[in-house]
């Protein structure tokens, strides 16, 4: 008992820290949204819900997110089934490409697709015109469908992961029984497999919708040129001069509610999965032969991967070495000037790369440590109310980055704690935003470590902290390092919160890329984008090493 | 596809050599000219020593990125030990950042220049700018001078119409702002944003005063592509994404054309606003000596000559020579720009623009 009491302060401090991270910005957000110089008011909400332009932004965002969810399911679900259940060739390569799409910063994808599918200068549209002699473009990326398409390309992995992981756990005997009874492949898939994975599909759909709702970079690059806003870009626009943070706060609330509602829905869906077949690992799984569909299916999958990875990365690399991205890449258009400019002349590069690395390392370290501590407390039930702790650690999922940033901005631009203008405010934003990712990973890790070993050590007289240090920590190391890497990847690509919280002295790479985009500096963006991808993939390789499996989790 | 002009991507070897020689001459001239140009002898030496002690100068600027970074490197070469941090963004963005920082008690910026003359009116009223007149300012043309002795124009450019000569023959290019309303340009225009670029905010107001808001309402119906910076239409036009721009900074277009990008300049016959860009030292500048050295540098004759000859800008210094292919400022039909009015109405301009154009 005495030993537990000595450790108690550690647990309590961790818990308090978490509450402060969450409560302060959200409290300010709520307060500012209802306050004016003349006391409490609902005027900001009235404005939000009567201004037709804001209404349109809200409606556009909902439509856009719903479509992203549908397209992501249409892409991710068949792909998950194909890699988990069939004899599709090249599964390992496909999985790596899905992983690449998963970690690609969405704003880089959007930027690349401007070069691919701008209605007139886009390379694909020019090719289309040259081949067909058509006048109209094949795709106009500056449109709502264009936006949906590009966002879906980088959110379908969420659906894929849900499907592939679920299918990997379901035995194939039911499907085989149906096949023996004479059902065709399509019929088996539709009447047997589909009902079993329906909860996973719904869940993936909701995850994709959540991603779409929270994105800032893609709509800023694709929607604003076409003259329409989404909720995130509108909130950001409220910060232009003269800034109206109270409107930003009031407009944040619908977004917050939508996310919270969707997550609740997801919980409901996942909570209902009652099929006895799910969870039976070890059962036989025989791949379904695709027969004549093998190569058409492969072609479709490769086409998707070309859209998500090959073409965008290719066009980024091309722009990085071109004087003018829209011109043919002959010798006279080939240059290293973008690289020398970005790394030798552009004075923002050095600071931004250093800030990004510094924030990435500190956030990942503190975040992973905090997540590990909290997951440990929750798993071993060390504090009364440990369930609340788990809830709080996962709660930031409902807060879109822009909304979190508005809250933090309101909380930390005034005394006593003026963090605005320092890296600290970004650090706080990142730790909060990445906590759910770190916590889930740490939680899974501790679930996998049986308490028996710890109990043995306790019996032999070791204190809780010593057990943690000498028994649990070494066992959990791989999982916690993976949590570190996940957080690190999340931080270096973060744009939606940073864009509101940065100052010229605290720019990070994503913000610099956005700055460059506003001036149309395609070459420098391509160079910084490729640099960011290299940093990301180096980290992904590290995860795989420490985790012994790939980031997406499922084995085929 | 469209390779006719391919050879022009890089300039010829003699041209490059000449430019390199000019740059070297400039590099040698700057440190020699500076202390003499500002204050005689010991005081200048003191300031230089003080600036070195401060070690850096932070410059918030809407200048085209390549120009701004080139100037920063030139200053660093002439003033070893003082680093220049360039923060480039749109004038309106910068202004918002500056006020937001001021409200939070953050002092980061040393030198500010802005393409929205209204900003200076407001910043002066709030006492946020230090009084500092560059040497030789009494010889500047009146448009570049400041009666309060705070913010002098260090560069100027007209807002013009860019078009892509490979897609639009010169005979068919628009000649006036009104020509942009021709139905043939529907869906083929690009415009920068007054919520980002001070020069565009100025242009929107000036043309609204001349033709009424009806002009912008009709232009919005042409469904132009919306970008942010006044430098971006140049890239959009030369890439072929949209063949004609509603706006462009003439100096940037001039430089892009010289580099071989397919972009031509129309000086609208119905007149255009001249954007005179004032520069000032912040009253609370964290590096006050380095800031003043930098301002002196911007107004020094070698730099002003460089801006005129290489960057395509109009400058206040009376003793510079312009390239022969630039029109003389006196020959352009300029529309009046009123700083007080800009300050008074910039909120209205942004609001109306967003209402008309959607974002």
Q: Are A420 and B104 inside 8 Å of each other by CB?
A: yes
CA distance B40 to chain A (A): 32
Over range A71-95, report the average pLDDT. Answer: 93
Closest CA to A301 of A496, A156, A448, A142: A156
Residue from the list B106, B226, B241 with its beta carbon closest to the beta carbon of A227: B226
Name the pLDDT band for B8 (thresholds 50, 70, 90): very low
Q: What integer pLDDT is reported at residue A479 of this predicted model? A: 87
* Residues of A with Cβ-Cβ distance to B69 under 8 angstroms: 341, 345-347
The string of pLDDT tens digits covering residues A372-407 is 988 988 888 877 777 777 888 888 888 899 999 999
Q: Are B89 and A228 inside 8 Å of each other by CB?
A: no
Q: Is it the case that residue A166 has pLDDT exceeding 90?
A: no
Q: Are A516 and B65 inside 8 Å of each other by CB?
A: yes
Closest CA to A73 of A201, A233, A253, A227: A201
Share of chain B above pLDDT 90, in %: 86
Q: Is it the case that residue A552 has pLDDT exceeding 90?
A: no
CA distance A338 to chain B (A): 11
Q: Are B88 and A326 inside 8 Å of each other by CB?
A: no
> Which comes out higher in pLDDT, residue B68 or A35?
B68
Q: Is B96 touching A (CB cutoff 8 A)?
A: yes
Residue A510 buriedness (CB in 10 A; 0-12 / 13-18 / 19+)? buried
Which residue of chain A is at minimal alpha-carbon distance from B259?
A323
The string of pLDDT tens digits covering residues B86-145 is 999 999 999 999 999 999 899 999 999 999 999 999 999 999 999 999 888 999 999 999
Q: Is B99 touching A (CB cutoff 8 A)?
A: yes
Over range A306-334, report the average pLDDT. Answer: 95
Q: Mean pLDDT for chain A?
A: 89
Q: Is A233 touching B (CB cutoff 8 A)?
A: yes
Name the pLDDT band for A297 (thresholds 50, 70, 90): very high
Q: Going by DSSP bridges, is the β-strand pair B56-61/B111-113 parallel, antiparallel, or unpaired?
A: parallel
Q: What integer pLDDT is reported at residue B342 of this predicted model? A: 97
| Cβ atoms of residues A287 and A85 within 8 Å | yes
Q: Is A133 touching B (CB cutoff 8 A)?
A: no
Q: What integer pLDDT is reported at residue A189 of this predicted model? A: 80
CB atoms within 10 A of CB A503: 21
Q: What integer pLDDT is reported at residue A74 of this predicted model? A: 97
Mutate to test the interface with B, among A241, A408, A411, A499 (most CBs of B within 10 A): A241
Sequence-ordered list of residues with C-beta below 8 angstroms from that of A182, at least 6 positions apart, any chain: none
| Cβ atoms of residues A412 and A418 within 8 Å | yes
As a whole number of Å, the CA-based R_g of chain B is 20
| Cβ atoms of residues B152 and B314 within 8 Å | no
The string of pLDDT tens digits covering residues B238-261 is 999 999 999 999 999 999 999 999
d(CA B336, CA A418): 43
Q: What per-residue string of b and e applies to B260-278 under the rule 16 or more CB within 10 Å gives b?
A: bbbbbbbebeebbbbbbbb
Q: Are A229 and B359 inside 8 Å of each other by CB?
A: yes
Range among A267-271, B44-48, B151-155 with highest mean pLDDT value: B151-155
Closest CA to B277 of B189, B337, B346: B337
What the block records as the tokens of A1 is 């008992």
Q: Is B349 touching A (CB cutoff 8 A)?
A: no
Q: Is A421 touching B (CB cutoff 8 A)?
A: yes
The string of pLDDT tens digits covering residues A406-464 is 999 999 988 778 899 999 999 999 999 999 999 998 988 888 888 888 888 888 888 88
The string of pLDDT tens digits covering residues B185-204 is 999 999 999 999 999 999 99
CA distances from B200 to A337, B178, B207, B225 (A): 29, 17, 10, 15
Q: Is A120 touching B (CB cutoff 8 A)?
A: yes
* Residues of B with Cβ-Cβ distance to A241 under 8 angstroms: 92, 95-96, 99
* Residues of B with Cβ-Cβ distance to A328 under 8 angstroms: 1-3, 6
Handedness of CA A163, A165, A169, A171 (dihedral sign): positive
Q: What integer pLDDT is reported at residue B35 of this predicted model? A: 44
Q: Is it the case that residue A283 has pLDDT exceeding 60?
A: no
Q: What integer pLDDT is reported at residue A66 of this predicted model? A: 97
Let me know how many helices (H) and strands (E) chain B has, helices first: 12, 11
Name the pLDDT band for A467 (thresholds 50, 70, 90): confident
* Residues of A with Cβ-Cβ distance to B110 under 8 angstroms: none
* Residues of B with Cβ-Cβ distance to A119 under 8 angstroms: 241
Q: Is it the case that residue A245 has pLDDT exceeding 70?
A: yes
* Residues of A with Cβ-Cβ distance to B87 under 8 angstroms: 348, 504
Q: Is the ipTM of this complex over 0.85?
A: yes
What the block records as the tokens of A24 is 């302060």
* Residues of B with Cβ-Cβ distance to A418 under 8 angstroms: 104-106
Those of residues 374-413 in A touching chain B at CB distance below 8 A are: 413
Over range A298-314, report the average pLDDT. Answer: 97
Strands (E), B116-199: 152-158, 161-163, 189-191
Q: How many CB pairs under 8 A join A and B?
A: 148
> Which comes out higher in pLDDT, residue B179 or A540?
B179
Q: Are B226 and A118 inside 8 Å of each other by CB?
A: no
CA distance B247 to chain A (A): 14
Over range A17-26, report the average pLDDT. Answer: 81
The string of pLDDT tens digits covering residues A176-221 is 888 888 888 788 888 888 888 888 899 999 999 999 999 999 999 9
Q: What integer pLDDT is reported at residue B5 of this predicted model? A: 34
Over range A330-354, report the average pLDDT. Answer: 94
> Which comes out higher in pLDDT, residue A553 or B293?
B293
What the block records as the tokens of A556 is 């085929």
Q: Are B9 and A228 inside 8 Å of each other by CB?
A: no
Over range B66-74, report the average pLDDT. Answer: 96
What the block records as the tokens of A156 is 């379908």
Residue B149 buriedness (CB in 10 A; 0-12 / 13-18 / 19+)? exposed
Alpha helices in chain B (DSSP H): 13-38, 42-54, 65-78, 91-103, 117-125, 198-211, 213-220, 232-239, 250-258, 288-299, 301-309, 339-357
| Cβ atoms of residues A322 and A333 within 8 Å | yes
**Least confidently predicted of A281-295, B150-164, B334-348:** A281-295
Share of chain A above pLDDT 90, in %: 60
Which pTM was predicted?
0.91
Mutate to test the interface with B, among A143, A327, A411 (most CBs of B within 10 A): A327
* Residues of A with Cβ-Cβ distance to B236 under 8 angstroms: 121, 520
Q: What integer pLDDT is reported at residue B318 of this predicted model? A: 95
d(CA A335, CA A329): 10
Q: Is B304 touching A (CB cutoff 8 A)?
A: no
Give the residues across from B191 on adjacent strands. B226
Q: Is A53 touching B (CB cutoff 8 A)?
A: yes
Those of residues 179-218 in B touching chain A at CB distance below 8 A are: 195-196
Q: Mean pLDDT for chain B?
A: 91
Q: Is it the case that residue A175 has pLDDT exceeding 90?
A: no
Q: What integer pLDDT is reported at residue A34 of this predicted model? A: 93
CA distance A26 to chain B (A): 20
d(CA B113, CA A526): 28
Name the pLDDT band for B21 (thresholds 50, 70, 90): low
């Amino acid at each position: 008992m005495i030993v537990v009491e000595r450790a108690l302060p550690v647990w309590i401090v961790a818990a308090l820290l978490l509450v402060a991270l969450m409560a302060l910005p959200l409290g300010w957000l709520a307060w500012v949204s209802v306050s004016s110089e003349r006391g409490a008011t609902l005027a900001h909400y009235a404005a939000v819900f009567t201004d037709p332009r804001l209404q349109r932004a809200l409606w556009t965002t909902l439509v856009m997110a719903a479509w992203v969810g549908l397209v992501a399911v249409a892409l991710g679900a068949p792909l998950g089934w194909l890699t988990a259940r069939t004899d599709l060739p090249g599964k390992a390569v496909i999985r790596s490409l899905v992983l690449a799409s998963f970690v690609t910063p969405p704003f880089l994808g959007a930027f690349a697709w401007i070069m691919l599918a701008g209605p007139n200068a886009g390379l694909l549209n020019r090719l289309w015109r040259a081949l067909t002699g058509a006048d109209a473009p094949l795709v106009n990326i500056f449109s709502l469908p264009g936006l949906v398409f590009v966002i879906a390309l980088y959110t379908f992995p969420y659906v894929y992961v849900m499907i592939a992981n679920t299918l990997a756990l379901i035995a194939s005997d039911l499907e085989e029984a149906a096949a023996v009874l004479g059902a065709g492949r399509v019929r088996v898939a539709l009447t047997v497999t589909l009902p079993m994975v329906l909860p996973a599909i719904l869940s993936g759909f909701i995850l994709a919708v959540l991603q779409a709702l929270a994105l800032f970079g893609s709509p800023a690059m694709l929607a604003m040129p076409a003259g329409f806003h989404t909720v995130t870009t509108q909130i950001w626009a409220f910060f232009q001069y003269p800034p109206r943070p109270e409107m930003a706060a009031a407009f944040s609330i619908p977004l917050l509610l939508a996310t919270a509602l969707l997550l609740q829905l997801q919980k409901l869906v996942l909570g209902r999965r009652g099929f006895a077949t799910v969870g039976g690992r070890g059962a036989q799984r025989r791949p379904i032969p695709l027969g004549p569909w093998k190569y058409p299916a492969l072609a479709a999958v490769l086409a998707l991967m070309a859209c998500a990875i090959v073409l965008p990365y290719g066009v980024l690399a091309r722009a990085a070495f071109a004087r003018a991205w829209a011109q043919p890449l002959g010798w006279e258009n080939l240059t290293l000037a973008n690289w020398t400019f970005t790394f030798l002349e552009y004075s923002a590069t050095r600071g931004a790369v250093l800030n990004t690395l510094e924030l990435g390392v500190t956030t990942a370290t503190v975040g992973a440590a905090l997540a590990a501590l909290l997951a440990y407390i929750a798993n071993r039930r060390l504090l009364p109310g440990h369930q609340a702790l788990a809830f709080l650690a996962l709660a930031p999922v409902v807060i879109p980055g822009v909304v979190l940033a508005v809250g933090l901005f309101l909380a930390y631009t005034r005394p006593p704690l003026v963090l605005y203008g320092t890296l600290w405010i970004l650090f706080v934003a990142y730790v909060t935003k990445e906590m759910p990712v770190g916590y889930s990973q740490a939680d899974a890790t501790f679930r996998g470590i049986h308490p028996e070993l710890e109990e043995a050590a306790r019996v032999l007289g070791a204190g809780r902290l010593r057990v943690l240090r000498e028994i649990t920590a070494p066992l959990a190391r791989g999982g916690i390092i993976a949590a570190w890497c996940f957080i690190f990847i999340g931080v270096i690509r973060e744009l939606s919160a940073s864009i509101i919280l940065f100052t010229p002295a605290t720019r990070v790479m994503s913000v610099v890329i956005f700055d460059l985009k506003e001036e149309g500096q395609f070459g420098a963006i391509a160079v910084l984008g490729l640099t960011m991808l290299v940093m990301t993939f180096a980290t992904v390789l590290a995860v795989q090493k420490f985790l012994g499996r790939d980031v997406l989790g499922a084995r085929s | 596809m469209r390779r006719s002009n391919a050879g022009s991507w890089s300039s010829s070897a003699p041209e490059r050599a000449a430019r390199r020689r000019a740059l070297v001459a400039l590099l040698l001239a700057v440190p020699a000219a500076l202390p003499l140009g500002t204050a005689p002898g010991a005081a200048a030496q003191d300031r230089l020593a003080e600036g070195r002690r401060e070690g850096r100068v932070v410059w918030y600027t809407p200048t085209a990125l390549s120009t701004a970074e080139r100037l920063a490197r030139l200053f660093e070469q002439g003033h070893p030990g003082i680093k220049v941090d360039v923060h480039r963004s749109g004038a309106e963005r910068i202004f918002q950042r500056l006020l937001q920082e001021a409200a939070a008690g953050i002092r980061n910026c040393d030198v500010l220049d802005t393409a929205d003359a209204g900003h200076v009116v407001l910043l002066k009223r709030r006492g946020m700018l230090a009084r500092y007149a560059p040497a030789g300012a009494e010889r500047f043309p009146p448009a570049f001078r400041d009666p309060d002795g705070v913010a002098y124009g260090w560069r100027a450019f007209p807002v013009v119409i860019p078009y892509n000569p490979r897609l639009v023959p010169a005979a068919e290019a628009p000649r006036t702002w009104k020509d942009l309303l021709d139905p043939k340009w529907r869906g083929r225009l690009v415009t920068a944003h007054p919520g980002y670029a001070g020069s565009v905010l100025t242009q929107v107001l000036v043309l609204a005063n001349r033709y009424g808001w009806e002009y912008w309402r009709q232009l919005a119906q042409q469904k132009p592509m919306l970008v942010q910076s006044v430098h971006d239409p140049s890239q959009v036009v030369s890439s072929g994404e949209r063949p004609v721009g509603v706006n462009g900074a003439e100096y940037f277009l001039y430089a892009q054309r010289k580099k071989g990008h397919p972009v031509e300049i129309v000086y609208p016959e119905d007149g255009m606003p001249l954007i005179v860009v004032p520069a000032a030292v912040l009253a609370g500048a964290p590096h006050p000596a380095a800031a003043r050295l930098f301002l002196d540098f911007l107004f020094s004759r070698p730099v002003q000559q460089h801006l005129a000859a290489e960057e395509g800008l109009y400058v206040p210094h009376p003793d510079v020579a312009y390239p022969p292919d630039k029109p003389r400022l006196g020959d352009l039909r300029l529309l009046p720009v009123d700083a007080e009015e800009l300050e008074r109405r910039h909120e209205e301009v942004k609001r109306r623009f967003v209402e008309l154009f959607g974002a």
